[in-house]
Structure 1
Amino acid sequence: MTFDDQQSDKITARQAEIVALVAEQGYTTLESLANRFSVSMQSVRRDIIQLDQMRLIQRFHGGAGPSDSTVRLGYQEKRSRSAEAKMKIARRASDLVLDGATIFLDSGTTVEALARQLRGRKTGLRVFTTCLATAMVLAGEQDVELHVIGGTSRGADGSLAGAATVASISTIRFDFAFIGYSGFDDDGTVMDYDLEKIAVKQAAIRRADAPILVGDQSKFERHAIAQIAAPRSFAKLVTDAAPPDRLSEVFLSSGLEVLIA
């Protein structure tokens, strides 16, 4: 019997469906789960506590999201998932970067793909990043002045965060900041999971002339644990498909330009 078989023997059908929903949607609330299964919130809370103890999901206040261990173990999978879409997004986003620009590159596999697109295509770039994986992509590039902003490692990709990271970013001015994210709130606010990484993203957004979101269409219907910033805080969203109508209306009214790769 495999490990997965052993795990499946220990959970109920409802719990298995909760795990699947969290994997598909990201953050899920207690209320939505209770409504979906027509049970009390207390029953769902017990399910989430048990699944959290088994490290199948992570319990948050008012709901659940992907477990940190799952995210760490799945980084290579995340890198390969929607690889073609990420390449198209990265190529379109790289077209926005001017020679000699000062840019911030956030953590995440789509931003890492952008770093690959910048190699050999632009000259005189000053690149600041808080992601060791992204830094390795650009290390040694002759036309790139690479700066790695220090901090505490927060993920399998070597994402760096913390008070010192935020303080360092706050002293720099960027022409562009390319920001990764995990989903959108009901009102269109951009969301992510890790609060310390969110603080880094927010600092970079504040210091950029043009903050730019990069993410594929799978993020449109996902929620996460906490808000990064409202759509009006960004100049552009580079993605691979048109957003659903509800988000398109919010983006339009907020002045957020959507570029489809």
Structure 2
Amino acid sequence: MPQSSELTARQKEILQTVGETGYATLETLSQRFDVSVQSIRRDIIHLDKMRLLQRFHGGAGPMDSTVRLGYAEKTLRATAAKERIGVAAAGLVPEGSVVFLDVGTTVEAVAAALKARDIRLHAFTNSLACAMLLAAEPKIQLHVFGGSLRGADGSLVGATTLAGIDAIHFDYAFIGFSGFAADGSALDYDLEKIAVKQAAMRRCETAVLVGDQSKFHSKAVATIGRADEFVHLVCDAAPPDFLGAAFLQSKLDVVVSD
């Protein structure tokens, strides 16, 4: 385990910032410490090598150990809201559909709601958690994409996952996300998971975002897709005005769960 004496005062503060915010850009850190972007980049490379944080394009985020804690916390947060979102999202799916289920606790709620419905369907997923929820359901023909396991949420990613997705045509793809940009674009942190989401979106007729209202005011590192690349957003509250206007312009249908 790295010793604190191996870190400069600035590097310790960078770790604290990432721990508090979940992600920090090079530009933000550069302005905060009044040093060049190059200096911050060297700090982040050093901290990444010490496995104290994870380097991303344009910034840094927490390592998987922090992400695991975050996932455990997410499973306990807004559970009733996520259950309602899951029921509303599952209600969009007709008999016989081919469905892609992304990773994340809200998508897991969609999987649970689909299991409770009396319909037959084909379900494809890169989520081990979703797979376990659906494994014993006779009405659902379950397919799990191969890949490399990434993070505590049971996410499978990588070239094998992408190749599997590219061979399938989905009627619906339920996509999890971490936040929104001001223009309504859906955002997330992990670039490998984002690649899987985007692959499923390219192969589906109807892309559906699912997330609770806490996502309206959250940011993340990279774009999953523009608002007009999704047909529905299923959430537990109406969006704030600035996002509502962006969604309206993009013709994104907002479904608010009961």
Pick the TM interval, shorter chain. Answer: 0.7 to 0.9
Distance in 2 of aligned mates of 1:245 and 1:53 = 42
The alignment partner of 2:119 has SS state of coil
Amino acid at match of 1:236: H
1:99 corresponds in structure 2 to 95
- Alignment of 1:69 with 2:28, yes or no, is no
| Amino acid across the alignment from 1:158 | G
Distance 2:157 2:150 in 1: 7
- Give secondary structure in 1 for the equivalent of 2:201: helix
Quick one: distance in 2 between partners of 1:143 and 1:24?
44
TM-score, normalised relative to structure 2: 0.85
Q: Distance between the aligned counterparts of 2:58 and 2:93, measured in 1?
A: 40
Q: In 2, Cα distance between the equivalents of 1:206 and 1:122?
A: 28
1:153 alignment counterpart? 149
Match of 2:193 among 188, 194, 197: 197
CA positional deviation for 1:204: 0.8
Which residue does 1:90 correspond to in 2? 86
Q: Greater shift after overlay, 144-153 or 61-70?
A: 61-70
Please say if 1:233 is aligned against 2:200: no
Structure 2 residue ranges without an equivalent (≥5):
none
TM-score after normalising by structure 1: 0.84
- The gaps in structure 1 that reach 5 residues or longer are 1-5
- 1:43-82 paired onto structure 2 within 5 Å: 48=44, 52=48, 55=51, 57-82=53-78
- 1:29 to 1:121, Cα distance in 2 relative to 1, 3 A: same
Percent identity between the two aligned chains: 56
Which residue of the other structure, out of 35, 50, 55, is the alignment partner of 1:40? 35
Counterpart amino acid of residue 34 in structure 2: V
Give the deviation of 1:60 after TM superposition: 2.7
Q: Deviations over 1:73-125 (max 9, x none)?
A: 43222211222221121121111111221111011111111111122313111
* Alpha-carbon distance change, 257 to 34 in structure 1, aligned in 2, over 3 angstroms: same
- Residue 15 of structure 1 contacts residue 51 of structure 1 at CA under 8 Å; is this kept in 2? no
CA contact (8 A) 1:58 1:65 kept: yes
Q: Report the number of matched residues.
A: 255
Q: Does 2:108 align with 1:108?
A: no
